[in-house]
Amino acid sequence: MNYQGKTIWITGASSGIGEAFARALYKEGANLILSSRREGALKQVKESLGADKSRVFILPLDLTQTETFPEKTEQALKAFGQIDMLMNNGGVSQRATVAETEMDTYRRLMEINYFGAVGLTKQVLPHMVERQSGHIVVTSSVAGKIGTKQRSGYAASKHAVQGFFNSLRQEMYEHNVAVTLLCPGFIKTNISKNALTGDGAKFGKMGDAHKDAMTADEMVKKVMPDIKKQKEEIYVTGFKEGLAIWVQRISPTLLNKILKNQKVT
Ligand SMILES: NC(=O)c1ccc[n+]([C@@H]2O[C@H](COP(=O)([O-])OP(=O)(O)OC[C@H]3O[C@@H](n4cnc5c(N)ncnc54)[C@H](OP(=O)(O)O)[C@@H]3O)[C@@H](O)[C@H]2O)c1
């Protein structure tokens, strides 16, 4: 896949993994539509990308406000005439036990991580089906495969993402629309600082596991060849999370025994 002149809509583009994808795809010659809530941060990303500002369109949106998606999608389509790839990447994590987590916080995690991705995909899909061409990428997580302490709502939302997009893939084969689930382990971004505690307040700290993890730019460099191949599922992890995925495949019982004694940050 050559991204020169292709149009790519990225959510969660104001920070971390989304911002790193924007950097890499701009260099590949793509037209970019950058979305998240903070317009100022998106403008800074646009400024940092390079000289050709005409290839970058800022489209602020809140993933919890699915009712705005039809109009946002119209604006996105108008920007460059079509959408070749949608990267459902915006998301938020969690740092609280089940006992501590309020129902509103569980709902918020689902609204952002699951319904946000579902809602935007449903708007973009008819356009891709009509053209019989397109690629939907969704940033799931190792937490989309494995549940751990203090991540019940986050893991649930990412498991839901896996189920939805695996089903969608089956329906899209005949329409030549590819679906990729991207499953990172720990990546050094603001994800833990922005994670929700039980009452929905921000955790505000960089977790130990993230401090020493690979950067978002390193991650994007590693996964880009597989994204170009439109692989169905991509894992990009450190040693521990990679091992956990492997152990789960061999023996879920063994993995649960190991995880129950793990310190979670
Ligand atoms: N970092 C990791 O270790 C890791 C591992 C596995 C999966 N992931 C996934 O990777 C994705 C990106 O996370 P990241 O690591 O890059 O974290 P990040 O630096 O905190 O970025 C999160 C992005 O999501 C956007 N966002 C949050 N709430 C939103 C909302 N209500 N509406 C619209 N946009 C919203 C944020 O922008 P605004 O604040 O401007 O809205 C920001 O651009 C997430 O889906 C996350 O679950 C991350």
Q: What is the mean pLDDT of residues 21-40?
A: 98
Report percent pLDDT > 90 for the chain: 97
What is the average pLDDT value for the chain, to the nearest integer? Answer: 97
pLDDT at residue 174 in the model: 98
Measured from the CA of 62, which atom of ligand 1 is nearest?
32
179 band by pLDDT with thresholds 50, 70 and 90: very high
Residue of 3, 26, 114, 154 with catalytic role? 154
User: Ligand 1 atom 9: the closest Cα is on which residue?
Assistant: 139
**What number is the average pLDDT over the span 52-70?**
98
Secondary structure (DSSP) of 104-138? HHHHHHIIIIIIHHHHHHHHHHHHHHHHT-EEEEE
- What pLDDT is attached to residue 264? 80
23-27: long-range contacts (C-beta < 8 A, 24 or more apart)? 23/48, 23/49, 23/217, 23/220, 24/217, 24/220, 24/221, 24/224, 26/50, 26/55, 26/56
Confidence (pLDDT) at 145: 97
Question: Between the CA of residue 224 and those of 3, 24, 39, 90, 210, what are the distances in Å?
Answer: 11, 9, 26, 18, 21
pLDDT at 1: 80
Q: How confident is the model at residue 189 (pLDDT cuts 50, 70, 90)?
A: very high
pLDDT digits (tens, 9 = 90+) for 94-107: 999 999 999 999 99
User: Could you say which DSSP state residue 53 is in?
Assistant: G
Q: What is the pLDDT of residue 59?
A: 98
CB 89 within 8 A of CB 61: no
Average pLDDT of the residues in 203-231: 96
C-alpha to C-alpha distance for 214 and 229, rounded to whole angstroms: 23
The pLDDT-based confidence of 180 (bands split at 50, 70, 90) is very high
Question: Which residues surround ligand 1 with Cβ inside 6 Å?
Answer: 11-12, 14-18, 36-38, 41, 62-64, 89-93, 112, 139, 141, 184, 186-187, 189-191, 194, 210
pTM of the model: 0.98
How big is the CA angle at 70 (ends 89 and 168), to the nearest 5 degrees? 55
pLDDT (0 to 100) of residue 262: 86
Q: How many CB atoms lie within 10 A of CB 70?
A: 12
Tell the CATH superfamily of the 7-239 domain. NAD(P)-binding Rossmann-like Domain (3.40.50.720)
Examine the residue annotation and report whether 154 is marked as an active-site residue of this protein. yes
Looking from the CA of residue 61, the nearest atom of ligand 1 is 33
Which ligand 1 atom lies nearest to the CA of residue 14?
43
Both tokens assigned to 99: 């006992």
Mean pLDDT confidence for 218-224: 98
pLDDT in tens, 194-210: 999 999 999 999 988 99
Residue 256's pLDDT is what?
Answer: 94
In the block, tokens 């020493």 appear at 212
Alpha-carbon gap, residue 186 to 260, rounded angstroms: 19
Query: What pLDDT, on a 0 to 100 scale, did the predictor assign at position 25?
Result: 98
Domain ranges of the chain: 7-239
68: its two tokens:
């705005």
